[in-house]
Amino acid sequence: MRAVLTPIAIRMVLMASLFDRTFERFRRALRLGADDGEVLPAGFSPDLEDVSEIRALIDRSLSQTSAVAARATAAEIGQIYLALSEVGRTRFLTMLAEDYAVREADVAEAISRYQSASDASNREQARFDLQDTLRPPARDLLTLFNGLDIGTKFVVDLRADLRRIPERSSALRELDHHIARLLRNWFDIGFLEMRSIDWNTSAAILEKLIEYEAVHEIAGWRDLRNRLSEDRRMFGFFHPQMPDEPLIFVEVALLQGLADHLPTLLDPDAPLVDPLEADTAVFYSISNCQEGLARIPLGDFLIKRVVADLAEKLPHLDRFATLSPLPGFRDWLVAHAAESANPELDALRPILDEPEGVATAEQLEPHREELLRWCARYLLQAKRVDGRVEERVQHFHLTNGARLERVNWMANPTQTGIQRSFGIMVNYRYDLDYIDANHEAYANRREVVASPDVIGLL
């Protein structure tokens, strides 16, 4: 018997077909960007001089009763956004932030209804209404993208665009706040997959690691292969909606003893260490890959997961530590010297006055003891008003439960290393038996847990 489609079924088929076509255009635009030759729909220009048409599309998407239709319209909006110029994207984001924000008058009215509710049932409903009122329509629009398998990446990149706008208004800052809250939910640790990365990982992902490395530049494929050799490990977090996009990755060297010299650690010609003879895993680089996930906590979870994984698979490892930079040390010492008449700084003033911190290892060697002592003071005593340590890298590791283990003289003798920290680098140690206690000491009491060696530098 021949099947007969009802009007509702026909409408659903047509709607699904429309969604498939629109979504495929959106997918192609996201993959190729604005240079793929796509023509903007009538009424739109790259600079988006007139926002009324895009506003009408947003209104249509938010008013749809069908989830399929709403997401199809959202995909159309996303395709248009990707074809806009930088000016057009700024106008779009400003319009989204200002016209689809929480309205104070609506909040005041919702609060009034809650306060005047006559009984428990009405008060409960009024509380629900108030919660809905505090959620901006812009957030509802962006939530629609999470239902598209490439929409999550779109929202991450959109936030990156937003954060690059200079002199953001309060409306744009509020929009950033709401997008960040969305992304914290979408990128909860429970949704993330930790993968071990090696030379057999897809070339597409390996290419992105070269691009995204933010601490120690990967100088091509030979350098990458060295960082994936037998005595190295690399791990990254991935999201199921972005399977080929690393979110954050960490590089590990298996060594005998703590690392104290960066060039040796990165030397592609250095002899291999037998992983079975290594006693220390050194984390020497951790890179956030997605600018749109800034301030979304991923690194602390990744470090702890990697430590647990290595401890299970390589039980002979005795230590888990880092070789970490001190990007704020020189600036802090220069500022401190400018504000202080401390005679202990007199011998250092000539090198502190060097333009842009330029100096050589030979010029710094006579000041080795003084600089190490001031570095210990910086790490142990320099704190902000809220009690956090001044050094942001140190804050990250202390928050994760690490101990300040050792200060290494001239560990990074490159121009960048000398300019930022006089070549000094630090080892932070992750001791599985004390991670929780160290975290509590810093998070709750702002105590810096340090080894006797570091304290002795004072």
The predicted-structure confidence for 369-428, as pLDDT tens digits, reads as follows: 999 999 999 999 999 999 999 999 999 999 999 999 999 999 999 999 999 999 999 999
pLDDT band at 3 (very low <50, low <70, confident <90, very high): low
Find where tokens 């490990």 sit: 233
pLDDT band at 5 (very low <50, low <70, confident <90, very high): low
The predicted-structure confidence for 144-165, as pLDDT tens digits, reads as follows: 999 887 899 999 999 999 999 9
Find where tokens 């504000």 sit: 339
pLDDT band at 22 (very low <50, low <70, confident <90, very high): low
Residue 268 is which amino acid? P
For residue 137 the two structure tokens come to: 């329509």
The CA-atom distances, in angstroms, between 298 and each of 20, 36, 246, 449 are 33, 33, 12, 23
Distance CA 375, CA 386 (A): 21
Angle between helical axes of 170-186 and 86-99 (0-180°, round to 10)? 90
Contacts of 363 (CB under 8 A, 6+ apart): 351
pLDDT band at 18 (very low <50, low <70, confident <90, very high): very low
Residue 65 is which amino acid? T
Question: What pLDDT score was predicted for residue 15?
Answer: 47
Task: Answer with the residue of higher pLDDT: 164 or 9.
Answer: 164
Question: What pLDDT score was predicted for residue 40?
Answer: 84
Question: What pLDDT score was predicted for residue 7?
Answer: 54
What is the pTM assigned to this prediction? 0.85
pLDDT band at 351 (very low <50, low <70, confident <90, very high): confident
Distance CA 20, CA 75 (A): 10
pLDDT band at 344 (very low <50, low <70, confident <90, very high): confident
CA 293 to chain centre: 4
Q: Provide φ and ψ at 408, rounded to 5°.
A: -110, 120
The CA-atom distances, in angstroms, between 337 and each of 201, 304, 341, 359, 369 are 49, 38, 7, 17, 17
- 96 burial via Cβ count (<10 Å: 0-12, 13-18, 19+): buried
Residues in the chain: 458
For residue 182 the two structure tokens come to: 């969305």
What whole-number percentage of the chain has pLDDT above 70?
Answer: 91
Question: What pLDDT score was predicted for residue 352?
Answer: 87
Question: What pLDDT score was predicted for residue 214?
Answer: 86
Distance CA 79, CA 48 (A): 14
Mean pLDDT of the chain: 90
Q: Domains of the chain by range and CATH?
A: 7-101+136-186 (1.20.140), 190-322 (3.40.630.180), 329-456 (3.40.630.150)
> Does the pLDDT of residue 192 top 60, yes or no?
yes
Strand order, beta sheet including 193-196:
193-196, 232-238, 248-255, 280-288, 319-322, 425-429, 403-408
* Arithmetic mean of pLDDT, 189-195: 94
Closest CA to 171 of 223, 93, 105: 93
Distance CA 340, CA 349 (A): 11
pLDDT band at 34 (very low <50, low <70, confident <90, very high): very low
> Does the pLDDT of residue 247 top 90, yes or no?
yes
pLDDT band at 356 (very low <50, low <70, confident <90, very high): low
Give kind and range of the element (H or E) at residue 443. helix 435-445
Give kind and range of the element (H or E) at residue 249. strand 248-255
C-alpha dihedral (291, 293, 298, 303), degrees to nearest 10: 0
* Arithmetic mean of pLDDT, 90-108: 94
For residue 441 the two structure tokens come to: 């000491």
CA 95 to chain centre: 26
For residue 230 the two structure tokens come to: 């037998």
β-strand partners of 287:
249
* Arithmetic mean of pLDDT, 317-339: 94
* Arithmetic mean of pLDDT, 277-296: 94
- 317 burial via Cβ count (<10 Å: 0-12, 13-18, 19+): middle
Question: What pLDDT score was predicted for residue 36?
Answer: 46
